[in-house]
Amino acid sequence: MSELFNALTIPFLLAMFLAINMGGSGTAPSFSAAYGANVLKRSLIPGLFGIMVLAGALIAGKEVSLTLGKGLLDHSFFTPLITSIILGSIGLSLLIANLIGVPQSTSQATVLSIAGAATALDGLNTHKLFYEIIPTWILLPFVAFFIMLGLSKWVFPFLKDKIFTDDYSHLKNHKGLKAVLILSSLYVAFSIGANNVANAAAPIASLTANEIGKEAIQNFLPIIILSVLIVAPCFAIGSSLLGHKVTKNTGKDIVKVSPFYATIIAMITASLLLLASITKGIPTSLVQLNGASFIALSISKNGFKNTFSNKTVKRFFTVWGIAPVFAFFLTFILVTLLN
């Protein structure tokens, strides 16, 4: 028992640390609108966020966990060393992105980190990566972009004076609008749980099953559920410790938006994220879906040229391209050298 505990300690701590960081960044797309409109107290947000993330992971996160736990690399390869390298590489790539000031996709870093280990171990499921996951990464941001562009050009102008305003004094007399803001926040958190908890939970689930033995591997789903129950509460911790500042400042560097615009963007991206989770179990970038939507809104307000000359937009595209590739090669090199 002590040997098993020692083998699992470091990977579990790395997974929990990763979940805390994901919780901090995930709070913004979930609750920035409700917080900005003052319909939710700051103290309530971490608890609500944590509950909905856990619900999303347990109800709709199974397929994503299976993809990351054994879909790209068979779970027999998830040793304590390999799992620690994977989780460490993900964390380091996200740390670098955070230091640059660009929100980065944990899902893409996780997938390519596992792919890096799988390539080094000659165990990569190339069909899953190249024919299912990567095409989804390319397609969904375009879907989010064109939906938001269409809404901002042909729908929002007619609603601007009625709903999409920076003045929230009218919310005091409209309980229905308050309810919509709160429910949309909970929905986004649910979608994040369905897709993103697996980034930390799936590798340690495979490791745990591998360490326990053949019986656990044959009953893999209970191990995933247990891992989710350990990892998901860390999202609430991250929300409490790190979420406030990100929530307060979200979206402003690309285009200034009211909380109502942020709500629409969050609902679009959360729906696409949930769709990817429950249909194909594809780990998908909420950050890039959000970014594509904000860019579409900026184009409708400021024009194409001004949007793509924005330093923040240029930096986003650069880091989005480099950080996941960095995670891949870092994992590949470390596994090759240390395994």
Q: Helix/strand/coil (H, E, C) string of the chain?
A: CHHHHHHHHHHHHHHHHHHHHHHHHHHHHHHHHHHHCCCCCHHHHHHHHHHHHHHHHHHHCHHHHHHHHHHCCCHHHCCHHHHHHHHHHHHHHHHHHHHHCCCCCHHHHHHHHHHHHHHHCCCCCHHHHHHHHHHHHHHHHHHHHHHHHHHHHHCHHHHCCCCCCCCCHHHHHCHHHHHHHHHHHHHHHHHHHHHHHHHHHHHHHHHHHHHHCHHHHHCHHHHHHHHHHHHHHHHHHHHHHHHHHHHHHCCCCCCCCCHHHHHHHHHHHHHHHHHHHHHCCCCCCHHHHHHHHHHHHHHHHHCHHHHHCCHHHHHHHHHHHHHHHHHHHHHHHHHHHHC
Mean pLDDT of 285-294: 86
Q: How many CB atoms lie within 10 A of CB 272?
A: 24
Q: What is the pLDDT of residues 7-55, one digit of tens each?
A: 789 999 999 989 988 887 777 778 877 776 677 888 888 999 999 999 9
Amino acid at 194: A
User: Where does the pLDDT of residue 125 fall: very low under 50, low under 70, confident under 90, or very high at 90 and above?
Assistant: very high
Residue 250 has pLDDT above 50, yes or no: no
Residue 168 has pLDDT above 80, yes or no: no
User: Where does the pLDDT of residue 251 fall: very low under 50, low under 70, confident under 90, or very high at 90 and above?
Assistant: very low
- Can you say whether residue 285 is alpha, beta or left, with left for phi > 0 and alpha for psi between -120 and 50 degrees? beta
